Structure formats: C-alpha cells, structure tokens
Amino acid sequence: MKDSDRPVGIFDSGLGGLTVFKALRDLLPGENLIYFGDTARVPYGTKSAQAVISFSSEITRFLLERRIKLLIVACNTASSLALDEIRKISPVPVMGVIKPGVDAAAAALPHGGRVLVTGTTATVNSRAYSRALAAAAPALDVTEKACPLFVPIVEEGWCSKPVAALVAREYLAPFRRRKIDALILGCTHYPMLKRVIARVMGPKVKIVDSARAAALAARAELESRGLLNRGRRGASEFVVSDAPERFSDLAGRLLGIRTGRVAVKRF
C-alpha cells in the first residue's frame, strides 16, 4: 500500500467529530477515512483530565494499528487535555481542532474584537482557547463559556427540538449585551446546533466552525507532506465503542451521513 493510500484516522467522544469527517469528505473525496466514536464513554467534557488522556491514548493505539497516515483528534476536550500525550505515542502527524479554530477566529477579526468561546466544562477549564488566542491574536478580548448540556442534546438527536433553543438562550442570551463580534464553536458537537446558536446571538455575530477549519488544516498538512490521495472516491469506515445502530441512525438524521455497517471496538 502506498503511503498516500493509507487512511486518515479521526476520533471523537461520540457523534461530534462527524462534523469534521463530513467536512473532510467534502474537501478530499479521494481520501480513505476511518472514524472512531467513543459512544460508550461520551461525554468527555465532564471527565477528569486523566480519564480523557487514558481514553484518547487507547483510541490512538487502535487507530495506529489500522496504519493511518494522519490522526485528527476531532474532539476539543481531548485536544485541550491529551494532545501532548497522544503525540508522544504516535509516529504519524497528530492534529487537534483548537489551533484551526483559533486561526479561523483570528482571520475573521483581523482588527481585533470580542470573542466568545463556547465549549465543554473541561475545555473551558483548561483555558486552551484563551492561551492560543492570546498567542495568535493578542488584540482579541476573549471570554469563555461552558455549555455542558449541548453535547447530550446533540447525542440525543434533539438539535431541532425546543429544548435546544431553550438551553442555548439560557447559556448565551446574557452575552448579547456584551457586543460579541465572533463566537467559536469550541466543541465539534456544536456545529449541529449552529443555527440555534446563531439565532440566539443575532446576525452580527460571526460563527466560527472549528470542524470546517480543522478539515482545511488537514488538507494543507497532507499536501505539505505529499500524502494526498488523489483518487476519486475514498472508502469510509466507522467504529464505535457502543450502540452502533443508534450512532448510524443519528449520523443519517443529523448530518446525512450513510455509515453502512458500523463496527464495535470495546476497550
């Protein structure tokens, strides 16, 4: 097998990383992709750092056994807490989703402004976004807000139900008075609530989708290393740690992704 034919590995705590998978599939139709969703242990955002590092390391080793050429940690919580440890055990390049999101926010506000970062409790407590934004764009005024109920709402498939709008207003309506210029969706589950969040924040707030930004960064990484697969139609493989039928159903209903058979790997 040529190096360019080897798959790109993507993992998340559950469904959220499928937003990265879909963006990558749209950008790079020739790539072979393998996606792992840790549905038995979702959400990561309420877990300890030690637990997230342990889970992420297990999944990384599993994907490395599949001879991947690039690993995308499509989970902001794992990106904020486990990226350094993952890189220690990975012989292939490892990308998170925080830096691409930060770069996209900096590009959207080249003259400074107010940025609201939304994420899981673990991601917000890590201050990973604040540190990265301070380094990349020190003129930005950054506030972070934990929105822990967003992940279970997505995992239940309730993105279009009234409860999603109710919770979004509870978390975010107070920030409308602060003249926010951009909001970072600092969790890959959150793009599935993008419309709800945008309605709460109003039309003047730019919504930064870290999933799309991560897919663009992955394309650039593969191209720079001469690893792009220029085939016409790459294969897609899906593996979860529990409830494959539910994962497949929600992937289809929420994102229009036809998974086919979903394999199960338990740790």
| Active site (catalytic) residues | 75, 187
Count of C-beta atoms within a 10 Å radius of residue 95 = 22
The span from the CA of 141 to the CA of 257, in Å, is: 37
Residues 6+ apart with CB under 8 A from 2: none
By C-alpha distance, which of 254, 258, 242, 255 is closest to 36? 242
On whether the CB atoms of residues 193 and 153 are closer than 8 A, the answer is yes
The span from the CA of 208 to the CA of 183, in Å, is: 6
Residue with tokens 């003129």, as numbered in its chain? 139
Longest dimension (CA), the chain: 56
Residues 6+ apart with CB under 8 A from 163: 153
